[in-house]
């Protein structure tokens, strides 16, 4: 949900949609100062939401790493492991968070890609892992709802 709000803020900022909102709401053309003020507000809000979202993704990745450490401990102690579905889903989520944070850290200048192609590969890997993880979550929810009814 944070990502949706973040993208809305970015789109409002980049496409100067507040100009249209001011025209509709106040029934007049927006001044240059108003457009610039709202542009800055939504740009800053989008940036702050992006940082918050990446922090949440990092925490989610660390949580999944902890899950794997527990699974390894259970395996070594000959205890029962979690379901294969959960292990695979957590793996995709972990790699999704890893690639998303890698891309984010290069975007803010903390890290650098060795080539432009590496940036594309990291972005695609993160997107692919996210799609698989979210699809698995949706399938699980659908299966759980189907078995409850």
Residues 92-107 pLDDT 10s:
999 999 998 898 889 8
49 lies in the same domain as 87: no
CA distance 147 to 140: 10
**Count of domains for the chain:** 2
Distance CA 101, CA 107 (A): 10
Same domain, residue pair 148 and 86:
yes
Statement to judge: residues 113 and 146 lie in one domain: yes
pLDDT at 73: 95
- Structural domain boundaries enclosing 52: 1-60
Rounded mean pLDDT of 113-125? 91
Share above pLDDT 70 across residues of the chain, in percent, rounded to a whole number = 99
Place of tokens 């949609």: 17
Q: Kindly tell me the sign of the dihedral angle through the C-alpha atoms of 8, 9, 11, 16.
A: positive
Within the chain, strands assigned E span none
8-65 pLDDT tens trace: 877 777 777 777 877 777 788 878 888 888 888 888 888 888 888 888 888 988 999 9
Whole-model pTM over 0.75: no
Q: Which residue has the higher pLDDT, 4 or 125?
A: 125
- Residues 52, 87: one domain? no
Same-domain status, 89 and 147: yes
Q: Are residues 2 and 43 in the same domain?
A: yes
CA distance 6 to 51: 10
Report the interhelical angle of 84-107 vs 116-148 (nearest 10°).
150
Q: What is the pLDDT of residue 16?
A: 75
């Amino acid at each position: 949900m944070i990502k949706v709000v973040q993208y809305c803020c970015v789109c409002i900022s980049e496409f100067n949609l507040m100009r249209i909102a001011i025209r509709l709401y106040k029934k007049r053309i927006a001044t240059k100062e108003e457009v610039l003020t709202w542009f800055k507000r939504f740009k800053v809000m989008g940036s702050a939401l992006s940082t918050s979202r990446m922090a949440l993704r990092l925490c989610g990745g660390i949580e999944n790493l902890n899950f794997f450490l527990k699974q390894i401990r259970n395996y070594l102690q000959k205890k029962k492991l979690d379901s294969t579905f959960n292990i695979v889903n957590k793996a995709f989520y972990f790699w999704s968070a890893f690639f998303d944070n890698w891309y984010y850290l290069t975007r803010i200048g903390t890290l650098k890609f060795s080539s432009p192609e590496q940036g594309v590969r990291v972005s695609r890997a993160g997107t692919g892992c996210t799609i698989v993880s979210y699809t698995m979550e949706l399938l699980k929810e659908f299966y759980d709802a189907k078995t409850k009814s």
